[in-house]
Amino acid sequence: MSQNKPKAVILLSGGLDSATCLAIAKSEGFEPVALSFDYGQRHNAELAASRRIAEAFAVTDHRVLRLQPGAMGGSALTDTTIAVPTEASDGIPVTYVPARNTIFLSFALGLAEVIVADAIFIGVNAVDYSGYPDCRPEFIEAFERMANLATKAGVEGHHMKIHTPLIALTKADIIRTGLRLGVDYALTVSCYQADIDGRACGACDSCRLRRKGFVDAGVPDPTRYQA
């Protein structure tokens, strides 16, 4: 890639939203450095998906960091004793992972400083989402302010921008955007309890939102389901 392109760290989970974020960053002229996390999540098939997506978009620098926030428990995604809900939840659901986006963005911020990146892209969404507090615009705005106060780059005037291109889009709009930019959603895994082959359960909150998104977008759903 051209050395003249500004670099951006892309948080790439392997799901539908993060794949769309990667496509948007590339379309805007950024040289993407993809960052994925192995944090003991049930849906580890997402990591395999993140590698497929990075390869499909010719990302030459894709890093996978191993973390252990799951050791604290407190989430159905990291604690196998807590069942993944198959019905809509009132309030913040048990699939919320404590401080996950704060942790992920902190590592992304550190990497951005090291590689002298101009931006971080994260696929948070405040429309078709599960009610997570760390997906709201207020959180992103607060983190960006902190990032520019707490880093050498920020203090020296190199402003870091947190890009959230999906935050005000419906899932259908996200899918339409990704298809226009060449995302192959068959490569992605969004399910909270996908099997080892990446097949989705079809019942969890993430599966319901994803399935509805394809219906609303009026395009075929390429998701592989377990039944």
What residue segments make up the domains of the chain, in order of their start? 7-217
Q: Whole-prediction pTM value?
A: 0.86
pLDDT digits (tens, 9 = 90+) for 64-106: 998 875 555 555 455 565 555 566 655 655 555 557 888 899 9
pLDDT digits (tens, 9 = 90+) for 178-225: 999 999 999 999 998 899 899 999 998 889 999 999 999 999 999 999
pLDDT score, position 224: 95
Contacts 24+ apart (CB under 8 A), 211-214: 212/128, 212/171, 212/172, 213/16, 213/128, 213/170, 213/171, 213/172, 213/174, 213/175, 214/172, 214/175
Architecture of the 7-217 domain: 3-Layer(aba) Sandwich (3.40)
Asked if the model's pLDDT at residue 130 lies above 60, the reply is no
Of 100-114, 130-144, 170-184, the poorest mean pLDDT is in 130-144
